[in-house]
């Protein structure tokens, strides 16, 4: 998830005292399956923002703060996974467990293995999923650790029938200034999803040379003015805070470019991806997901920027074509064996209604595939 303007009336996550929500927060009532990509029916209710904020999208931390995140394209995710048989759901980015709770509720035969690298998220998910008891097992881990986690859990011999990746960061992470993800709010320049591991964003901007910063901003942030920004960033060292860096980035841009969204958005996206190795970890994890699924099982991925989505498209296409190298439109003679088939044609996008309700959903792109049987060697589907 990137950081567009906060939704009108979005909750303040820094609130420590019980407050009233500033807007009606939807309470999801789950049908067994939802049709037509529409969100599940929502019955709005204004609740006090204290303990009653345990809506499907909110978990409560032991610190007393509320971990808030509205699950994106929930109706579409439920619809795509509606007909999938009983077994194990792997939520590779469980966050506040909005998707996970809705999926467990609509599939009584499913168990969940959920992971998140952020300790706050795991705590919130544990709280949110407590009503599901032993059906939910949660792990503080990166999703590249899933093979070991699943091997260790035994899963009672049940196969993995669904894998969900909802990439990026949660609203809670973005809106908590001390996590250092926000270019709008003053905080330490950190950006680590797992605060205890690896270099922070400050370590990177204070240490790397101008050429590597320019490459980072161009490649991971698709920033047109990467070189001039890198030059200004190096000249303005050392950095400790988010707004300090955001101001230097803004001052390095031509006036016209400053008017297109927040001037520091792409640089912050690039740094966040680098700090958390977001793009490096994704490809192998997607390959693992395709391997892990039983025939008929489905993988769903929500990506929030083009770098992520490109990797999803490439890895899923490789599974769907089996790596076929034959010319498009001709029968396959290279012996490739498709391992999966597309469930979505192209990327699905959130509805205008969802984006109006939750602007942070705007950049979401959803892709899904279904695992084929071991012996399947169907005619090559379009890539
Ligand atoms: C968009 S949120 C997920 C929200 C969740 N679907 C929900 O309904 O609340 C993304 C989450 O993925 C986690 N995350 C990102 N990359 C990860 C990785 N490589 N391994 C594990 N968790 C990761 C983040 O810490 C964050 O909590």
The CATH number assigned to the domain holding 263 equals: 1.10.150.170
For the Cβ of 170 lying below 6 angstroms from any atom of ligand 1, the answer is yes
Cα separation, 45 vs 58, whole angstroms: 14
Farthest-apart Cα atoms in the chain, separation: 66
**Do residues 257 and 323 both lie within one domain?**
no
Joined tokens for residue 196: 């205890």
Structural element, H or E, at residue 28: strand 25-28
- To test the ligand 1 pocket, which listed residue (53, 78, 93) has its Cβ within 8 A of the most ligand atoms? 93
pLDDT in tens, 40-55: 332 222 222 222 233 3
pLDDT below 70 — which residues of the chain? 1-65, 154-157, 374-383
* 29 within a domain of the structure (yes/no): no
Residue nearest atom 10 in ligand 1 by C-alpha distance: 169
* 144 within a domain of the structure (yes/no): yes
> In this predicted structure, what is the pLDDT of residue 2?
57
**Do residues 165 and 202 both lie within one domain?**
no
**Do residues 93 and 61 both lie within one domain?**
yes
CA–centroid distance, residue 363 to ligand 1 (Å): 16
Domain boundary among 245, 275, 305: 275
**Do residues 266 and 300 both lie within one domain?**
no
**Do residues 310 and 247 both lie within one domain?**
no
> In this predicted structure, what is the pLDDT of residue 381?
46
Q: Which atom number of ligand 1 is nearest to the Cα of residue 98?
A: 8
* 183 within a domain of the structure (yes/no): no
Q: Counting Cβ atoms within 10 Å, is residue 149 exposed (0-12), middle (13-18) or buried (19+)?
A: middle
For the Cβ of 114 lying below 6 angstroms from any atom of ligand 1, the answer is no
> In this predicted structure, what is the pLDDT of residue 157?
67
**Do residues 86 and 149 both lie within one domain?**
yes
Coil, strand, or helix at residue 205? helix
For the Cβ of 169 lying below 6 angstroms from any atom of ligand 1, the answer is yes
CA–centroid distance, residue 235 to ligand 1 (Å): 34
Domain containing residue 358: CATH number: 3.40.50.150
Residues of the domain holding 299: 56-169+279-371
* 184 within a domain of the structure (yes/no): no
Residue (of 66, 60, 55) closest to 27 by Cα position: 55
pLDDT in tens, 211-249: 999 999 999 999 999 999 999 999 999 999 999 999 999
Domain boundary among 226, 246, 275: 275
CA–centroid distance, residue 8 to ligand 1 (Å): 23
Average pLDDT value over all residues in the chain: 84
Query: Taking the CA atoms of the chain, what radius of gyration do you get in angstroms?
Result: 21
Q: Which atom number of ligand 1 is nearest to the Cα of residue 170?
A: 2
**Do residues 217 and 284 both lie within one domain?**
no
Q: The pTM is what?
A: 0.84
* 266 within a domain of the structure (yes/no): yes
Neighbours of 117 (CB within 10 A): 22
Number of structural domains (the chain) is 2
Residue nearest atom 15 in ligand 1 by C-alpha distance: 168
CA–centroid distance, residue 256 to ligand 1 (Å): 34
For the Cβ of 95 lying below 6 angstroms from any atom of ligand 1, the answer is yes
**Do residues 287 and 156 both lie within one domain?**
yes
């Amino acid at each position: 998830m990137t950081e567009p303007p906060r939704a009108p009336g979005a909750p303040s996550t820094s609130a420590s005292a019980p407050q009233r929500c500033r807007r009606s927060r939807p309470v999801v009532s789950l049908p067994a399956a939802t049709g037509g990509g529409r969100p599940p029916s929502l019955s709005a209710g204004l609740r006090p923002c204290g303990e009653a904020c345990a809506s499907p999208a909110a978990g409560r931390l032991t610190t007393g703060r509320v971990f808030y995140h509205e699950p994106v394209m929930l109706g579409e995710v439920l619809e795509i996974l509606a007909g999938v048989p009983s077994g194990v759901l792997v939520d590779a980015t469980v966050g506040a467990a909005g998707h996970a709770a809705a999926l467990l509720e609509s599939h009584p035969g499913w168990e969940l293995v959920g992971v998140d690298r952020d300790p706050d998220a795991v705590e919130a998910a544990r709280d949110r999923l407590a009503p599901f008891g032993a059906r939910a097992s949660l792990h503080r881990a990166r999703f590249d650790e899933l093979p070991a986690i699943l091997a260790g859990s035994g899963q009672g011999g049940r196969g993995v029938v669904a894998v969900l990746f909802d990439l990026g960061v949660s609203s809670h992470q973005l809106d908590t200034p001390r996590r250092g993800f926000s270019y709008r709010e003053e905080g330490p320049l950190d950006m680590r999803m797992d605060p205890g591991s690896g270099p922070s964003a400050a370590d990177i901007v204070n240490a790397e040379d101008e050429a590597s910063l320019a490459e980072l901003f161009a490649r991971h942030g698709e920033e047109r003015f990467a070189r001039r920004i890198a030059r200004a960033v190096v000249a303005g060292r050392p950095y400790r805070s988010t707004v300090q860096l955001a101001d230097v980035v803004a001052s390095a841009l031509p006036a016209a470019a400053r008017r297109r969204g927040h001037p520091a958005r792409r640089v912050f996206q690039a740094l966040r991806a680098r700090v958390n190795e977001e793009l490096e970890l994704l490809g192998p994890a997607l390959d693992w997901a395709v391997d892990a699924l039983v025939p008929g099982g489905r993988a769903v991925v929500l990506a929030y920027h083009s770098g992520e989505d490109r990797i999803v498209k490439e890895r899923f296409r490789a599974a769907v074509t089996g790596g076929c190298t034959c010319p498009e439109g001709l029968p396959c003679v290279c012996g490739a064996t498709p391992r999966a088939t597309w469930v979505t044609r192209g990327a699905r996008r959130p509805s205008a209604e969802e984006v109006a309700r939750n602007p942070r959903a705007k950049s979401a792109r959803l892709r899904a595939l279904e695992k084929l049987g071991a012996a399947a060697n169907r005619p090559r589907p379009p890539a």
